[in-house]
Amino acid sequence: MNRLRASWPAPSRLVLYAVVTVVGVTMILPFYYMVVTSFKTLEEVSQIPISLGLGRPTLDAYRRLLQGLPYGRFVLNSLLVAMVTTSGTIFFCSLAGYAFAKHRFPYQRALFFVLLSTMLVPGAVLLVPGFLLMRDFGWLDTLWPLIVPHLSGAFGVFLAKQFIDKIPDELIDAARIDGCGELRLYWHVVMPLSKPLLATLGILTFLANWNSFIGPLIFLLDEQLFTLPLGLALLQGRYARTENVQMAGAALATIPVLIVFFALQKRIIKSLASSGLKG
């Protein structure tokens, strides 16, 4: 009996568990409602009071969604934009971060300060100049305005520099003594040691571009080029009174995000916990 009491958590820990449980349920409830509603008929959705249970599950909402909109095309467009921008951000930001962290060149601090200062400019301020620039390039109603400007960013460079700063200089010097050139050193030494950084930067970039709405709204006119957020916005007009179809679209939109997060969650936790290597 004494051993059993000794294994019981302290009262303060019980309170913590209770708070975490309540917060977790509060966060999960909207997603649960979204999934359950997507499998309901329109009659069940319209019932009052609202039921959180699932009486007669059906795929009718998903059929109507896929038949009424080129939803698969929206997903492919979003995947293309998100994957290309994520790959470019990982490469260019880590390369720039390596240069700022492990090299010395004229006006290095000034350039880094100017780079960081761009983070203070609100994105809304750049919408009109960005639109005019894309118009002059002839890129309106293409996916290029959603890809090229987002292949790198000041936050990604800052994050990469802070992480690569923690890599011991002795490893870099040893690789140079062994005859590694800069690109080989970057690819075979810095990149393998920066996997937590790359995972964190990758998922943040992927989520930002996957959920982007303002950019596609401004630059795209052809429905075949719409990304998923624009496609979800179309549901508000075409399926205004069919909440089950809207929820079906939202449920399908979360699947790629969940896959990316669960695939990289260990790397992200490691990056947040370690913040690099110790010299």
Give the tens place of pLDDT for each residue, 106-149. Answer: 999 999 999 999 988 888 888 899 999 999 999 999 999 999 99
Look at residue 276 and tell me whether its pLDDT is greater than 50: no
CA distances for 122 relative to 44, 103, 126, 201, angstroms: 44, 30, 7, 21
Report the mean per-residue pLDDT for the chain. 84
81 versus 241: the higher-pLDDT residue is 81
pLDDT at 251 over 90: no
C-beta atoms surrounding 45 within 10 Å: 20
Q: Which of 8-17, 187-196, 253-262 has the highest mean pLDDT?
A: 187-196
Give pLDDT, residue 274.
54
User: Under a CB-based contact definition with an 8 Å cutoff, are residues 253 and 34 in contact?
Assistant: no
Residue 161: band (very low, low, confident or very high) from pLDDT cuts 50, 70, 90: very high
State pLDDT tens for residues 188-233. Answer: 889 988 888 888 888 889 889 998 999 999 999 888 899 999 888 8
Report how far residue 50's alpha carbon sits from residue 62's, in angstroms, rounded to the nearest whole number. Answer: 21
Closest CA to 253 of 67, 54, 82: 82
Q: What pLDDT is recorded for position 270?
A: 65
Query: What angle is formed at CA 211 by the lines to CA 254 and CA 196, rounded to 5 degrees?
Result: 80
Question: Using CA atoms, how far apart are residues 187 and 161, in angstroms rounded to an integer?
Answer: 16
Bigger pLDDT: 180 vs 148:
148
The total number of residues shown for the chain amounts to: 279
pLDDT at 47 over 80: no
Q: Does position 61 have pLDDT exceeding 50, yes or no?
A: yes
Residue 278: per-residue pLDDT: 43
pLDDT of residue 273: 60
- In the structure, what pLDDT confidence band is assigned to residue 9 with cuts at 50, 70 and 90? low
Exposed/middle/buried for 201, CB within 10 Å: 0-12, 13-18, 19+? buried
Q: What is the pLDDT of residue 149?
A: 92
CB of 21 within 8 A of CB of 29?
A: no
CA distance 41 to 250: 16
Q: What is the pLDDT of residue 69?
A: 83
Whether the predicted pLDDT of 179 surpasses 90: no
Q: Quick one: pLDDT at residue 275?
A: 47
Amino acid of residue 131: F
Q: 84 pLDDT exceeds 80?
A: yes
Q: Note the pLDDT of residue 137.
A: 93
Rounded Cα–Cα distance for residues 211 and 119 (Å): 20
Query: What global pTM score does this model have?
Result: 0.80
CA geometry: angle at 148 spanning 94 and 81, to 5°? 90
* pLDDT attached to residue 96: 93
Average pLDDT over every residue of 249-253? 86
The per-residue pLDDT for 216 is 92
Name the pLDDT band for 81 (thresholds 50, 70, 90). very high
Instruction: Give 80's contacts (C-beta < 8 A, 6+ positions apart).
Output: 143
Q: Say whether pLDDT at 277 is over 80.
A: no
Q: Are 38 and 57 in contact (CB under 8 A)?
A: no
Question: Is pLDDT at 235 greater than 90 in this prediction?
Answer: no
> What is the DSSP track for 99-166?
HHHH---TTHHHHHHHHHHGGGS-GGGGHHHHHHHHHHHT-TTSSHHHHGGGS--HHHHHHHHHHHTT
